[in-house]
Structure formats: structure tokens, C-alpha cells
Amino acid sequence: MNTKAIKHPNDDRDCGWYDLLPAPGAPSVLKGGHRADYVVIGAGFAGLAAARRLAELKPEASIYLIDAQRVGFGASGRNSGFVIDLPHKMALEHPDPEVKQRLLRLNRAAISSLESSITQHNIDCQWSHAGRYQGAVGERGRGYLENFVKLMRDLGEPFELVERDKLSKVLGTQHYSQAVFTPGCYLMQPAALVRGLAKALPSNVRLFENSPVSGLRKGSNGYWVVEASGASVTTQNLLLTTSIFTQEFGYLKNRLLPVMTFASWTRPLTDAEMAESGITADWGLTPADHAGTTVRMTQDRRLIIRNSYQHVPKYGRSVSDDFRSKVRAKHRKSMLLRYPHLQDVDFTHTWGGSYAISRNFTNFFGKLEDGVHALACDNGVGAAWGTVGGAMLAERVVGGSSSLLSDIQYVSGMPSLNPPEPILGLGVKTRIRWAAWNSRGEL
């Protein structure tokens, strides 16, 4: 198979998480011709986990991990820093209780794996067992919370219903009328975490950055040839951990929806600014209404506001500077609704990140064709799913078996087909606008 006109990542250069890190050393760029036992494309949470697990299972094998950008610059370094243990969003409402229990096991295995690596390799990434608030502003949000409480009781998981006054002593705002606190979520600095994981890769993994893959083709011997800017790698085993970009290689075409969500953050707040409202550090809140606003206070006291979604068929090229300016203004409005005393505190960064969702909220895991395997479509929960999914994809490729591999095969499937363009684009834009209108009181 040949691939043509591959669209590569084109992320903005205003990601606060990445900008906060020290400048990385010079990258190893793929040059010349190579052979490898395994090639993993995409060095986010999934690719890093896949490469690490392959190295553990096949310590004598040569493993190449290739990314179009620097590690941490892409989607894995652009999320809001939640590693959520619970089935998230639509998955929590799945009619099969077994799916939810297996997702719990998978997510918690991911958290355990990340924590082990962080401890073993001393990765400085603001890792924190802080739990998560799910917050409601008005009646619409409280209605979602009532359903969430019911789902948590059905799941048999612990939670605490927190009313406005108690909540405000943590968040420093009376904006939220109610929240549900769940204890199993972890918070982190995503760009720092993925860069730390990359530095700690086993010795038989070679990482190549700034090496965008320009094509895939099958050689005469039946092996796959990965082409990247004049260089090439021949392999019998190709793992695509490329999320939305999987479709650029000719797979899962018309089954993935490219969406970008946006965040802004402030400089670190001063002691006086923290004290004025009573806001504390190191917590995270996701909206009860999925189209609402995510808010985080980092360990170093930066306030993050995340909302606004955009259909991005050309990924970063779909988003203009003018659009990002409008997003930033929207974020500022959301911030001042919650923290009016911070009117003199501006955002220092506003960034977006692309990810894949599917219309049936189904994740893909498994074989695409002989020699090609993929983990794709994280549906907005990439840190936990990518970590455990990448490791399990490696196990599957080498013919392994485990209870977690059985779990992920049980909960995965085929993303449903999308309608053709321009119907798809119009439908997604209309749905996003409708959701934003309905949720305007929760923003």
C-alpha cells in the first residue's frame, strides 16, 4: 500500500505545558536506510507504552519509535493533565456493566504503570493523587450530576457530594452550586511526563523525533517500508499509535472525527491573589455537562481554563490565529465569571490539541492487516487509554496473553462510519454549536 499527501501535525507553538520545560537537546532524526524488528509510529502516551512493553517482552529486538515532532509537543503534551480512573463520559453510561468494570481495571493499570515509571525514573511532572471534582453551575449541570451519582452507585465506586460552601473553600469561587468528588483521579504535567517517559526508554528502543513519515509501502519480501523524508525503515511489524493521524496512512478512513479542544493558562498566582478568594493549589474540575468548562489549578498555581471545540479536518491548519484569539477571549470570560478579582491577570498561553472521537464512542484496538496493528480513537481520554492500550498492543503483536489484554479486546471495537463530506463537517459544526448553546450557563 502506498500513501500519498499525508497531512502531518501542525500544532501551535503556544502550549504552556511544553513552553515551561527546559529546551530539549538535539533530536535524533531518521536518516538513511534501516531495518528494525518493530517500528512504532507516534511517540505519545500510546507509542511510548508500546515501545517500552515491546522492549520488555523482546529484550534482544531492535525497536524504532518515530515521531513527526518533538516528544511532548503533540497531543499527549496538550491535554489538561487528568489521568482518570473511571469510565469517562459516554463510557460510563454503557449498558453492559462488564464493559465498565473492565475499563476500570484498564485505567487503574495505566495509573499504576505511570506511577511506577515516575517513581523508578524520578520523573518531575507534578504527579498528584488529587482526585477530581465534577462540577455543576446551574440546574442543567445539577441534572447531569444526579445522573452521575446514580451511575456511580450502580458502579459501586466511592464519591462525595460537595455543596457550594464547602466546594468554594477548595476552588476559591462560589460559581459552582454543587460537585461530585471522586478520589481515584491523578493529576500531572503532561508534557513533562511524556518527555520523562521518553528519556527512560529501554536501551533497545531508538527514538527518532522531527521525522514525519511520508509514506508506507509493502516491499517485495512482504515487509513494510516506512518512508520519512528520504530515510526508510524496513520492518515486519508496524504499530500505529497515531490517534487521529491513523487515517493519514489509509486506515480507518471515514471512521474517525478530528476534533480540537483548547486551553489557556495564567502565570503563577501570587500569595495575595490566592488568599483573596481562598483558592487552593493542585486540584482539577471537569464539567458535569460535557460541553461545559474544565478548570484546573496546578501545583505551581497556574489557573487553567479549557472549553471550546472545533472540527479540524486539516488538524492544526484548520485553526487560524484569529480563531484562537476568539477562544482566548471566551476563556477569559469563563475565568472572570469564576474569579472576578483576577481581572488584572492575563493568560500567558492559549493552545489547542487534536484528537480522535468516533460517532459510536468506540475505540479501535488490534490488527489492521498483516504486519500492521493500531491503537486509535481515544475519544478524549488519551492518557490512561494510551498508556494501557499501547502496552497491550505490544503484547498482542508478540502473541502474548493476559487478563488486561482480554479486557481491552472486550471493550474495543470498530468506530462507526461517518457520513461523507460536506455533510459530516456541517453536522459536526452544528452539533458543537448546539451543545455550546445548550450549555451556555455551564461555561
Delimit the domains of the chain by residue range: 16-78+191-256+360-419
Question: Is pLDDT above 60 for 2?
Answer: no
The structural architecture, per CATH, of the domain 16-78+191-256+360-419 is 3-Layer(bba) Sandwich (3.50)
- List the strands of the sheet with 160-163, edge to edge: 160-163, 178-182, 132-136, 283-287, 294-297, 303-311, 257-266, 347-357
Q: Residue with C-alpha cell 495505566? A: 110
- Give me the sign of the Cα torsion angle 135, 139, 141, 145: positive
Question: Is pLDDT above 90 for 143?
Answer: yes
Question: Is pLDDT above 70 for 1?
Answer: no
> 3-class secondary structure for the chain?
CCCCCCCCCCCCCCCHHHHCCCCCCCCCCCCCEEECCEEEECCCHHHHHHHHHHHHHCCCCCEEEECCCCCCCCHHHCCCCEECCCCCHHHHHCCCHHHHHHHHHHHHHHHHHHHHHHHHHCCCCCCECCCEEEEECCHHHHHHHHHHHHHHHHHCCCCEEEEHHHHHHHHCCCCCCEEEEECCCEECCHHHHHHHHHHCCCCCEEEECCCCCCEEEECCCCCEEEEECCEEEEECEEEECCHHHHHHHCCCCCCCEEEEEEEEEECCCCHHHHHHHCCCCCEEEEECCCCCCEEEECCCCCEEEEEEEEECCCHHHHCCHHHHHHHHHHHHHHHHHHCHHHCCCCEEEEEEEEEEECCCCCCEEEEEECCEEEEECCCCCHHHHHHHHHHHHHHHHCCCCCHHHHHHHHHCCCCCCCCCCCHHHHHHHHHHHHHHHHCHHHC
Provide mean pLDDT across the span 140-156: 96
Which pLDDT tens digit goes with each residue over 158-193?
999 999 999 999 999 999 999 999 999 999 999 999
Provide mean pLDDT across the span 222-233: 94
Question: Is pLDDT above 70 for 88?
Answer: yes
Cα separation, 297 vs 314, in Å, equals: 31
Question: Is pLDDT above 90 for 54?
Answer: yes
Cα separation, 203 vs 201, in Å, equals: 7
> Count of CB atoms within 10 A of residue 389's CB?
28
What's the pLDDT at 4?
59
Question: Is pLDDT above 70 for 110?
Answer: yes
**Residues whose CB falls within 8 Å of the CB of residue 300, separated by 6 or more in sequence, listed in order:** 126, 268, 281
Question: Regarding predicted confidence, which is higher, 328 or 229?
Answer: 328
443 band by pLDDT with thresholds 50, 70 and 90: confident
Which pLDDT tens digit goes with each residue over 251-267?
999 999 999 999 999 99
Cell of 104: 476500570
Which pLDDT tens digit goes with each residue over 335-357?
999 999 999 999 999 999 999 99
Mean pLDDT of the residues in the chain: 94
| Residue 344 burial by Cβ neighbours in a 10 Å radius (0-12, 13-18, 19+) | exposed
Which pLDDT tens digit goes with each residue over 277-333?
999 999 999 999 988 999 999 999 999 999 988 889 899 999 999 999 999 999 999
Cell of 24: 530539549
89 band by pLDDT with thresholds 50, 70 and 90: confident
What's the pLDDT at 440?
77
What's the pLDDT at 378?
83
What's the pLDDT at 151?
96
Which pLDDT tens digit goes with each residue over 381-438?
889 999 999 999 999 999 999 999 999 999 999 999 988 877 777 777 777 677 677 7
What's the pLDDT at 428?
72
Cα separation, 259 vs 313, in Å, equals: 8
Q: Are 49 and 194 in contact (CB under 8 A)?
A: no
Tell me the β-bridge partners of 372: 238, 369
Which pLDDT tens digit goes with each residue over 357-376?
999 999 999 999 999 999 99
